[in-house]
Amino acid sequence: MTEINSVTRLERDGDVALVILNSPPVNALSANVRDGLSEGFKQAIASDAKAIVLICDGRTFIAGADITEFGGAMKGASLPEVQATMENSPKPVVAAIHGTALGGGLEVALCAHYRVAVPTARLGLPEVNLGLLPGAGGTQRLPRIAGVEKALEMMTSGRHAPAKEALAMGLVDEIVEEGKLREGAVGFARKLVAEGKPLVKVRDNNAKLEAAKGHPEIFADFRKANARKFRGFLAPEYNIRCVEAAVNSASFDEGLAVERKLFMELMTGPQSAAQRYYFFAERTAAKIPDVPDDTPLREIKKVGVLGAGTMGGGISMNFANVGIPVTIVEVKQDALERGLTTIRKNYERSRGAKPEETEARMSRLTGSLELEALADCDLIIEAVFERMDIKKDVFTRLDKIAKPGAILASNTSYLNVDEIASVTSRPQDVIGLHFFSPANVMKLLEIIRGEKTAKDVIATSMKLAKQIGKIAVLAGVCPGFIGNRMLSQRQREANKLVLEGAMPWDIDRVLYDFGFPMGPFAMSDLAGLDIGWVKENSKGETLRDVLCEMDRRGQKTGAGFYDYDENRTAKPSPVTEKIINDFIAKSGRNPRKISDEEILERCIFPMINEGVKILEEGKAIRASDIDVVWVNGYGWPVYRGGPMFYGDQIGGPAKVLAKMQEFQGAMGDDFKPSARLEKLAADGGKFADLNK
């Protein structure tokens, strides 16, 4: 064994040399790893070994470039140098893959002459998710090996293909037994030598590109089919252009030059900066400073859910999906049955649903009309009506029924978790688990820490969130927590703008163009304008009251803020416009022309200011947690990083403060800047400083 450097060693197994990387956690291609590879391969080539295997210790093969190095000066051996050494090796090079071969990791593997993988390995080029494209030849090699269509699909989705699929597309040459990667790879390498197999260089393999030559429609069709998905993002289009270059360039190197140029453009641009930031933001959100990683967890073997409505049903599905049995309690038999039927339909409707899988999941759900059925549950989540008196009643009763140590959670989206906890004899076991609708789909879980919530209850909830595929963010008790508290700022301004002369569709268009999937008014129409509206109490005082009174309750009634045709396509409504104009006339004001810029700033800047307040009050741990909430729960475009990151990108606290002050002068205290914002601006700071 030769130690090459701190993360690389060279070993021998008979006539096969092994270059072994050990750079936890994911063997990312840091300067050290590149140096180790460069030197390791040089020594292996110079030795009397007949073949070389590249393999990694730890949980995974190389999972990509080291993202922390991006944006700074590159040190050490360059990746193209390492790749050329491997590809030009006079002896066969075999990449042995377990875990994930991603991005630069797969690009390195594609410079080996052959690849073997264990069945659980996954391979992909996920750079698009970082606002990038594969910058180490992946855009030129993947279409050569897998074909143009497959390459387009994999590169623009960033999907990780399982080993079996990788084998079928030629990305992997052989699957070896799980747990026996080293033996399998060495055996494979020996066989190559014994059979005198050629040294395959993917770069020279043009057959699959030839098939796409003269067919520009492949790209046009792909762009068209995915236009909605790619809207606003630069990286998917740049990935497509690289594959086009692979097909249309006169040589591999010419295609590579296009890749290099477009890669650098993305790397230095704002979208990738935002998406790289976001990658780490999401992982940082899992870290709670005063709840250590080794906090003992409570065991959650059985979950109880109160309420079989949309929310309760969706919540239950999350647990059934990962093998945890759920007891769902409803008040009435028909509501329970309706809930369970809806869950079944949701399963059956989901893509690729296998009947046996649906049955297995349904078999984990038990319905009951008795609260006592929750007595043996380790976690009980209530998803009943959003009213404090009802929540208190539920928790009083749960306190009597739940077993000692059970976690009692409320799915409230707004209410005071401490007040809810106060009716129990065990406030330390009470926590908020705010799921977003549809709860089986939406990634975000706001976890609300009460004043007395125990640390192991927090740690268990965070871990459970990961288990059910959610991204959890810890928030403190305040009205609306992080997400809805900031949303109400935007909603207030949107409503005010309408009464000043902007039409709902103007506001929606501005926010849609910003990158949200839809604006607040289209959203209201989708959700139903009558949520929380009570006919008997309605006095036509607000635009919503009037619309609901006219039975314009949103998409479901064919009209709301917008008019809808039979395909539910929205059109600006002259009826709504007239109602708005009547309201304005009644107020004695004149409607004014409001610029798109003002609409955007008035909707977004008070949100950022509120975010600062949330941090000031200690209701969020760090600014990046707020961004994670907004990207995952409210459709904030990830290529803009989140409201706090965006605030820095457009000029930082000084700019946001100046605008808030300007608006405050003109329109009053809805725009009152937070003290912390004023201080940040005075200190010349950034919102990112609030991460510390």
User: Which residues are near ligand 3HC by CB under 6 A?
Assistant: 25-26, 28, 63-68, 100, 102-104, 107, 126-127, 130, 132, 134-136, 138, 280, 283
The helix (run of H) or strand (run of E) holding residue 165 is helix 163-168
Q: Catalytic annotation on 174? A: no
Q: How far is the CB of 240 from ligand 3HC (least distance, A)?
A: 16
Q: How far is the CB of 187 from ligand 3HC (least distance, A)?
A: 27
Q: How far is the CB of 456 from ligand 3HC (least distance, A)?
A: 21
Question: What whole-number distance in Å separates Cα of residue 106 and Cα of residue 61?
Answer: 9
Helix, strand and coil percent figures for the chain, each rounded to 5: 50, 15, 35
Question: What whole-number distance in Å separates Cα of residue 482 and Cα of residue 579?
Answer: 33
- Closest C-alpha to 123, from 76, 59, 62: 62
- Strand, coil or helix: 86: helix
Q: How many residues does the chain have?
A: 692
Q: How far is the CB of 57 from ligand 3HC (least distance, A)?
A: 15
Question: What whole-number distance in Å separates Cα of residue 334 and Cα of residue 561?
Answer: 33
Q: What are phi and psi of 446, to 5 degrees?
A: -85, 125
Q: What are phi and psi of 380, to 5 degrees?
A: -120, 125
Q: Which is nearer to ligand 3HC, 127 or 601 (CB)?
A: 127
Compute the chain's Rg from CA coordinates.
28
Q: Which is nearer to ligand 3HC, 266 or 384 (CB)?
A: 266
- From the candidates 39, 107, 282, 493, which is the catalytic residue? 107
Burial class of residue 669 in the structure, from the number of CB atoms within 10 Å of its CB (0-12 exposed, 13-18 middle, 19+ buried): exposed
Inter-CA distances, 581 with 17, 499, 589, Å? 79, 8, 10
Q: How far is the CB of 64 from ligand 3HC (least distance, A)?
A: 2
Q: Which is nearer to ligand 3HC, 66 or 598 (CB)?
A: 66
Q: Which is nearer to ligand 3HC, 65 or 384 (CB)?
A: 65
Question: What whole-number distance in Å separates Cα of residue 52 and Cα of residue 59?
Answer: 21
Q: Which is nearer to ligand 3HC, 125 or 570 (CB)?
A: 125
Question: What whole-number distance in Å separates Cα of residue 239 and Cα of residue 632?
Answer: 24
Q: Which is nearer to ligand 3HC, 321 or 413 (CB)?
A: 321
Q: What is the DSSP string of 212-245?
A: HTT-THHHHHHHHHTHHHHTT-SHHHHHHHHHHH
Q: Catalytic annotation on 107? A: yes
Q: Which is nearer to ligand 3HC, 104 or 606 (CB)?
A: 104
Q: How far is the CB of 396 from ligand 3HC (least distance, A)?
A: 40
User: Residue 170 is which amino acid?
Assistant: G
What is the dihedral sign for C-alpha 490, 496, 497, 498?
positive
User: Residue 414 is which amino acid?
Assistant: Y
Q: Which is nearer to ligand 3HC, 132 or 615 (CB)?
A: 132
Q: How far is the CB of 102 from ligand 3HC (least distance, A)?
A: 4
Tokens of 215: 């067919």
Question: What whole-number distance in Å separates Cα of residue 628 and Cα of residue 621?
Answer: 12
- Closest C-alpha to 54, from 75, 73, 29, 74: 29
Asked if 19 contacts 52 with a C-beta cutoff of 8 angstroms, the reply is yes
Tokens of 448: 């609300």
Question: What whole-number distance in Å separates Cα of residue 363 and Cα of residue 355?
Answer: 12
Q: How far is the CB of 18 from ligand 3HC (least distance, A)?
A: 22
Q: How far is the CB of 623 from ligand 3HC (least distance, A)?
A: 17
Q: Which is nearer to ligand 3HC, 67 or 362 (CB)?
A: 67
- From the candidates 39, 87, 127, 493, which is the catalytic residue? 127
Q: Which is nearer to ligand 3HC, 11 or 237 (CB)?
A: 237
Question: What whole-number distance in Å separates Cα of residue 158 and Cα of residue 154?
Answer: 6
What is the dihedral sign for C-alpha 247, 252, 254, 258?
positive
Q: Tell me the residue ranges of DSSP E strands in 108-231.
A: 114-117, 122-124, 161-162, 174-175
Q: How far is the CB of 235 from ligand 3HC (least distance, A)?
A: 11
Q: Which is nearer to ligand 3HC, 126 or 504 (CB)?
A: 126
Q: What are phi and psi of 89, to 5 degrees?
A: -60, 135
Q: Which is nearer to ligand 3HC, 242 or 384 (CB)?
A: 242
- What secondary structure letter does DSSP report for 204? G
The helix (run of H) or strand (run of E) holding residue 17 is strand 16-21
Residue with tokens 């539910």: 568
- Closest C-alpha to 493, from 651, 644, 619, 599: 599
Asked if 300 contacts 459 with a C-beta cutoff of 8 angstroms, the reply is no
Residues whose CB is less than 8 angstroms from the CB of residue 360 and which lie 6 or more positions away in sequence, other chains included: none
Q: Which is nearer to ligand 3HC, 28 or 374 (CB)?
A: 28
- What secondary structure letter does DSSP report for 93? E
Question: What whole-number distance in Å separates Cα of residue 134 and Cα of residue 418?
Answer: 48
Q: How far is the CB of 126 from ligand 3HC (least distance, A)?
A: 4
**What 3 state SS string does 449-495 have?**
ECCCCCHHHHHHHHHHHHHCCCEEEEEECCCCCCHHHHHHHHHHHHH
End-to-end CA distance of the chain: 43
Q: How far is the CB of 28 from ligand 3HC (least distance, A)?
A: 4
Q: How far is the CB of 66 from ligand 3HC (least distance, A)?
A: 4
- Strand, coil or helix: 298: coil
Residues with a catalytic annotation lie at 107, 127
